[in-house]
Copies of this chain bind each other. A is one copy, B any other.
Amino acid sequence: MLERMDRILAAFTAEHSRLTGGQLAVLAGLPPATAHRLARDMARQGWLERVEGGRYVVGTRLWELANRASRELTLARTARPFMGDIHAVLRQHVQLGIMEGREVLLLERLSHPGAVPVRASVAGRLPLHLSATGLVLLAHAPGEVQQAYLEGPLAAFTPLSPTDPHEVAAELERIRARGHAVQTGYLEPETTGIAVPVRGRGEQVLAGLGVITPAGDPGGRAPAIVQALHTAAHGIRRTLRETGRDRQA
């Protein structure tokens, strides 16, 4: 039953946040009677809510339960002021992501109205090898995790997305050597992502911190962006340590 509830909740996204019982059945791959019954039960508990047109939305109660004690919230809240500093200077998207399976899960993003369009939203996911934030996480993952990842399949979002495991492996090596990741056009033809690791206790990589800018970099700003990201990552680590949250996060 838990697994079926998980599938119901997974049907909701930022783009499709209001779903009928019938849509839930299709998206969750459940018999309609099962989907309807589970949705009703979850609504009774406040985990879903009924809104106009007989549609469901994710309920306030579930949001509350999931956020009140979450380590993700702790990490995101600690990072946010530092992300704000970068955002204020660069006027582009700044994002923080952690590794979840074969994807980067975005914990936080600060966006600028005039910034380039981006693919995923907060609590959204992207394949690790297509996002700079994901690449930096994959580059610092244990060897066996990298190896399993490279066995694929390696999804492609644009003609520039790398799908050759040897190419990606060589890139991970470069990322470790120079300390940051850069990708241009892997996710969107016209955007560049730049990211650095955020470290916790020891040298453990907790998250990736990245900026998304228009591709082309006419001002040669990449070195300055990398420097700003490293400085912010250092600040986040220091704050986590000072507040004793580096263990928790």
A→B interface (CB under 8 Å): 1-3, 5-6, 9-10, 12-14, 16-18, 41-42, 44-47, 57-58, 60-73, 77, 84, 98, 100, 105, 121-125, 248
Contact = CB atoms under 8 A, between A and B. Distances in A.
Contacts of A66: 9, 58, 62-63, 65-67
B105 A64 contact: yes
A2 B37 CA distance: 12
Which of A3, A41, A72 counts the most B-chain CB atoms under 10 A from its CB?
Answer: A72
A123 B73 contact: yes
10 contacts: A6-B45, A6-B61, A6-B65, A12-B69, A57-B71, A58-B68, A63-B72, A65-B66, A73-B122, A77-B122
A12 B68 contact: yes
Given A42-B2, A45-B3, A17 B71 contact: yes
Given A17-B69, A70-B58, A64 B123 contact: yes
A82 to B, nearest CB: 14
A173 B124 CA distance: 44
A206 B125 CA distance: 29
A60 B17 contact: no
A84 B98 CA distance: 25
Contact of A124 (B61, B68, B77): B68
B58 A63 contact: no
